[in-house]
Amino acid sequence: MPVKRFWLLATLAVFAALVLTGCGARAGAGDTAAAATDAALAVDLPALTIDFDAEGAASLGGMPLASFGALLPAGLADLKLDKATIDQLTAADIQHIQVTTVPSGLLILVNGEPIPSMRWTDEQLANLGDVVELLGPAVPAAVKAVLPIITDVGVGVALRFPVSQGAAMIPMQVAGDASAAATAKAAQEAFMTEIGAAPIIRIPVVYDIDGNYTVQGITDAEWQALTGAPFGQLKLDAAMVKDAVTAGVTNATVRTDAAGIHIALNGKELPVLGWAEGELNHLVKLAAGAGLLESTGMDAAAITQLVEALLPAIQSSNVEIDVTFPTE
């Protein structure tokens, strides 16, 4: 038994050394350790960096990922992207993608800047745990297990892709006046100075057990007749409503403000899809660079300019849709 334990520890030590040779700077590194000084568990590691070549083959620390074999989690050693995907990423100048956990959320960075990602407080995570219990077996056991410790674990993975010839290298973390965060903050401050107060829209929606709804007593058909908009599509499937009622969900709220998109169930706020740091601006820029806006048939530059002009209004507006379900 001592020999087996020795070889197990030796294997883990070798694996740790190999993995750390393929690690790089992680966004938010050190934050978890600083916040978890009184916690029994604390994990704060650099980002595991996986490089892809022009053919889509993956490597870790300069070694083919497949060479790590059983030392890696199931399926990771076989990770590979097809050449078409690599070519698309290179053409769009997407050089790296990083997914990382920090005490305040799960961050996704593309080319060193965040796109809309999850943000949370301790209370919101606790509320999410209550919802997980409410949904019962519909939620995987792994999700239930990780929620109580997620704020004490700081880990991440960075995927790096080939850079086209002549393209400037983009750092793994972008900051400063030229960043999307700085640009968005300046545009939003200018917008708020111009209008004085944030626009407010509040819409109460009441559903019956068959999935029909009313807003202030006006039915979906009446709203559609009044506006010409396809409000009938907002009807819900009766089975979905019954499932919500059976699960004990009586109220759901979706709200947007300068911080992002908020969702609450039965009055309990859940983690937020955040956009307070220029995430939407960066996402629009990436979509334009990837040619996704050209599919509209309109001039991509004009669409980008229009969307960027609308973003301060979208992000500054307080819009709330409050949905009430029937009770059993």
Residues 193 and 151 in one domain: no
> What is d(CA 256, CA 80) in angstroms, rounded to the nearest whole number?
38
Distance from C-alpha of 316 to C-alpha of 191, rounded to nearest angstrom: 8
Statement to judge: residues 231 and 115 lie in one domain: no
User: How many domains, the chain?
Assistant: 2
Q: Are residues 196 and 60 in the same domain?
A: no
Structural domain contains residue 293: yes
| Together in a domain, 241 and 287 | yes
Residues 30 and 147 in one domain: yes
Output the tens digit of pLDDT for each of the chain's 328 residues.
455 555 544 554 555 555 555 677 889 889 999 988 887 888 888 888 999 999 999 998 888 888 776 666 666 778 899 999 999 999 999 999 999 999 999 999 999 999 999 999 999 999 998 888 777 676 777 777 788 889 998 989 999 999 999 999 999 999 888 899 999 999 999 999 999 999 999 999 999 999 999 999 999 889 889 888 888 888 999 999 998 888 889 999 999 999 999 999 999 999 999 999 999 999 999 988 888 777 666 677 888 888 888 999 999 999 999 999 998 6
> Could you say which of 164, 194, 220 is where a domain stops?
164
Residues in Cβ contact with 298 at an 8 Å cutoff, skipping those fewer than 6 apart: none
Look at residue 174 and tell me if it is in a domain. Answer: no
**Distance (Å, whole) CA 328 – CA 315:** 37
| Residue 7 sits in the same domain as residue 141 | yes
Does 178 reside within a domain? no
pTM, entire model: 0.85
Domain span including residue 107 = 2-164
Cα–Cα distances in angstroms (integers) from residue 60 to residues 22, 69, 71, in the given order: 5, 12, 12
